[in-house]
Amino acid sequence: MKTILTILCLIIIAVIFLLLIAVIRTLFLKQKTSVYHGSDDMKLSLAYAKKLQKMVRVNTVSVSDHPDPEKFRKLHKVMEKLFPNVFKTCKKIDLDGNLIMHWKGKDRSLQPIVLTSHLDVVAAEGEWTYPPFSGTIIDDKIYGRGSFDVKCGVFSFYQALEELISEGYKPACDVYLASSCTEEVGGDGAPKIAEWFVKHKIRPFMLCDEGGAITEDPFVGVKGNFAAVGIFEKGYGDIKIIAKGNGGHSSTPGKNTPIARLAKFEAEIEKKSPFRVEFTPAVDALMETMAQYCSNFPLKVILHNLWLFRPILKKVMPAISSQAAAMLQTTMCFTMQKGSNGYNVIPQEAYVTANLRFIPFEGKEASLEIVRKIAAKYDLIVEEINCSDPSSSLDLNGPQYRMVKEAINKVFPGVEIIPYVVTGGTDSRFYDGKVDACVRFEPINTSKDQLSRMHGIDENIDINTLPLAVEYYKEIIRKQEERK
């Protein structure tokens, strides 16, 4: 008994000692603030917003399996009037409504860069305060479908080129503007553009796409605006889980009917995720950065001492942020379900669909094998519909990431930069392996409310974020001079 008590005492002393070290380390960590300052030039902000307004007014909702290139060519014509220097100076390539503009650089031996954001938008359903394709400008905001996702990005890099050309600037390397019209439906627009580069034996040095942005209060206890730079994109998977049976009348049900088996399967997945949770170097860097801005001291201690609290953080991460939790593992969400067509009919076949986002350390095949093993317990069949692996990661020590960090620091002084795992899907996944590096960052500041409205009602952005977004793309282009 004395031996056991001695061991317990030693364990308690060791735990207290480790906690004391963690607290002391945190006390010496300097508290920082991260603040975004929009443009003070409201006259310029309004002028830019009126240009973006004309782009928003063109309805470019993409519909799966119903491509309509002419809808997007109407937008091309509007853009030609808005950015005359770009269309006079650059070569235009139209790939079924997907648009490429090529601005020749001084040194053709340098690999080119690509600035990309999509032209299409999602449907605008529900009751909007202002018509969704009006581009209404009020209270220093512009409202409309695509104002944030992502015509503001297209506007910003076109305006950057428009002004650089008017100044007589010549880029060091070739610059391509590439915009697909099928991003929102996962169509063939970006693949066509990516293959165009392959066909012409062009391997870009860097591709800049959407994915991250300047976001507000990213975690509980962390206040401020942070430039979230997407360094890789999780894989994508749509699957169908099928249950078969003999059917029959509901008045004489048997056990383990198709819907009941599907329900047991769904309950097991929902109760405890079967996928592995791991911290990657990028997530470690993210947490360590967040610790410097955290106002909640207990959480600050945890974030700053991952060497001690990583196992605990794996458990509590969902409570801190579902977005943060999604960066640690493959996720699976059930989306659609179907049984029989009658209230009193036991189906011979029922199914549920699920959407998965694969993390690199447990990619498509490993994740699907986990799902299949659980499905087999309930005599279910797993059918792949549309699945792809995660993208490769941006090198945090590479020149592309350095350029982006330096551009952000110059244009957005006071805003901290955090590496970010893109949990959604972007066009840049189609360029994976075809460019040296993909940077997923849209230089637009957005509040929590604005972010929540991205695919919803009353999508909007602040107009004073536009001048800085234009300056960011100018800086990215100018920084290519350093590669000489």
* Per-domain residue ranges of the chain: 42-212+392-483, 235-388
pLDDT at position 5 is: 79
Q: Is 31 exposed, middle or buried (0-12, 13-18, 19+ CB in 10 A)?
A: exposed
Q: Region 242-250: what's the mean pLDDT? A: 88
Q: Which of 39, 35, 57 is nearest to 463 (CA)?
A: 39
d(CA 362, CA 48): 44
Of the options 1.10.10.10, 3.40.50.720, 3.40.630.10, 1.20.1250.20, the CATH number for the domain spanning 42-212+392-483: 3.40.630.10
pLDDT for 154 beyond 70 = yes
Kindly report each contact of residues 264-267 with a partner whose C-beta sits within 8 Å and lies 24 or more positions away, as own/partner. 264/378, 265/241, 265/352, 265/374, 265/375, 265/377, 265/378, 265/380, 266/334, 266/352
pTM of the model: 0.91
CA 422 to chain centre: 4
Q: Is 349 exposed, middle or buried (0-12, 13-18, 19+ CB in 10 A)?
A: middle
pLDDT at position 265 is: 97
Q: Which of 312, 314, 294 is nearest to 304 (CA)?
A: 294
- The continuous run of DSSP H or E covering 114 comes out as strand 113-116
Name the 3-class secondary structure at 39: coil
Q: Are 211 and 419 in contact (CB under 8 A)?
A: no
d(CA 457, CA 1): 66
pLDDT for 334 beyond 80 = yes
Q: Are 306 and 45 in contact (CB under 8 A)?
A: no
Of the options 2.160.20.60, 3.20.20.80, 3.40.190.10, 3.30.70.360, the CATH number for the domain spanning 235-388: 3.30.70.360
362-388: per-residue pLDDT in tens? 999 999 999 999 999 999 999 999 899
pLDDT at position 319 is: 66
pLDDT for 13 beyond 90 = no
| Residue that the structure tokens 């529900």 belong to | 126
Instruction: Please give the mean pLDDT across all residues of the chain.
Output: 93
Query: Given pLDDT bands bounded at 50, 70 and 90, which one contains residue 231?
Result: very high
Written as one letter, the residue type at 404 is V
Query: Given pLDDT bands bounded at 50, 70 and 90, which one contains residue 183?
Result: very high
Q: Which of 220, 403, 413 is nearest to 322 (CA)?
A: 220
Q: Is 117 left (phi over 0), alpha (psi -120 to 50) or beta?
A: beta
pLDDT for 330 beyond 80 = yes
pLDDT at position 343 is: 93
Q: Do strands 206-216 and 175-179 pair parallel, antiparallel, or not at all (unpaired)? A: unpaired
